């Protein structure tokens, strides 16, 4: 039972960090959109703010046990790469949902964010911060 909880702990922590990052991203995005900033530009700025927060919290809290004694200098580069991939996918998805459907912008943003969270978790857990022991 305890090992099962230990296996789920990184996922739970990632989810909590993800909620915080989503809040940062979403609030900044909606403020920028309200101010008239183009959707993709607002997405890039808001996602970048959430990403900076994500790296700090995930590296120090979510996956810290996995990287004890790990001084992988490529970790930040991997983090940037996975987040650039997610940013590209979410920006494209957001633009398509916003322009090709009648979904409200706020809902389009939430759908794109959810898709990005799945990709980001897999990339972060297994590539950026290493697979769990």
Give residue-wise pLDDT tens across range 84-119. Answer: 999 999 999 999 999 999 899 999 999 998 899 889
d(CA 3, CA 102): 46
Q: For residue 69, what pLDDT is reported?
A: 47
d(CA 44, CA 90): 10
C-alpha of 3 from chain center: 26
Which residues make Cβ contacts (< 8 Å) with residue 112, sequence separation at least 6?
43, 90, 91, 93, 94, 97
Q: What are phi and psi of 63, to 5 degrees?
A: -110, 20
- Closest by Cα among 49, 35, 42 to 91: 42
Catalogue the E-assigned strands of the chain. none
d(CA 17, CA 23): 10
Decide if 61 contacts 120 (C-beta within 8 A): no
pLDDT band at 68 (very low <50, low <70, confident <90, very high): very low
Q: What predicted TM-score, i.e. pTM, was given to this entire model?
A: 0.72
């Amino acid at each position: 039972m305890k090992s099962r909880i230990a296996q789920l702990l990184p996922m739970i922590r990632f989810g909590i960090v993800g909620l915080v990052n989503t809040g940062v991203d979403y609030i900044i995005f909606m403020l920028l959109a309200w101010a008239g900033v183009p959707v993709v530009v607002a997405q890039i700025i808001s996602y970048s703010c959430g990403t900076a927060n994500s790296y700090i919290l995930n590296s120090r809290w979510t996956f810290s046990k996995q990287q004890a004694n790990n001084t992988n200098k490529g970790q930040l580069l991997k983090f940037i790469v996975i987040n650039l991939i997610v940013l590209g996918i979410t920006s494209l998805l957001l633009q398509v949902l916003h322009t090709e459907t009648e979904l409200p912008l706020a809902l389009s943003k939430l759908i794109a964010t959810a898709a990005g969270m799945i990709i980001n978790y897999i990339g972060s857990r297994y590539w950026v911060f290493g697979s769990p022991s």
